Amino acid sequence: MFWLRKVRKANIPPEERDLFERYGENVIGIVLASGLNPGTGELYKLYGDANAKAHARDWLTERSDAHEFREQRLEILEWSIVVLIVFEIVLNFLCGFH
């Protein structure tokens, strides 16, 4: 919980990364998982090229790691705020009786 998972950075050519980011995680995931022939010419390369499929898979892994990393950072921040609030309440309670 209090360790940050590292984001695995994919080694993807910039033009493929641009394509993946243009269409987004949902579309790229559907093209990879469904096996359907995409209507868009840009995505057809992804459908037919094993190397492009591997890059898309690696990109999806990178995006998933980035989402998880962001969630873990937010969780740490939330717990830190809770601890500080509890500490403040305890400190005010103890100082109020002196």
Residue 4 lies in a domain: no
Q: How many residues does the chain have?
A: 98
Rounded percentage of the chain residues whose pLDDT exceeds 70: 86
Residue of 96 and 87 predicted with greater confidence: 87
Neighbours of 12 (CB within 10 A): 18
Residue 39 has pLDDT above 80, yes or no: no
Tell whether the model's pLDDT for residue 36 goes beyond 60: yes
Q: What is the reported pLDDT for 86?
A: 93
Task: Let me know if residue 55 belongs to a domain.
Answer: yes
The answer to whether position 33 is within a domain reads yes
Burial class (CB in 10 A: 0-12, 13-18, 19+), 43: buried
Q: Is residue 69 part of a domain?
A: yes
pTM greater than 0.75: no
Number of domain units in the chain: 1
Domain that holds residue 23: 14-96
Least confident among 38-47, 49-58, 87-96? 38-47
3-state secondary structure of 21: helix
Domain assignment present for residue 36? The answer is yes
pLDDT exceeds cutoff 90 at 69: no
Per-residue pLDDT of 17-34, as tens digits, reads 898 989 888 888 888 888
83 within a domain of the structure (yes/no): yes
8 located within any domain: no
Q: Is residue 3 part of a domain?
A: no
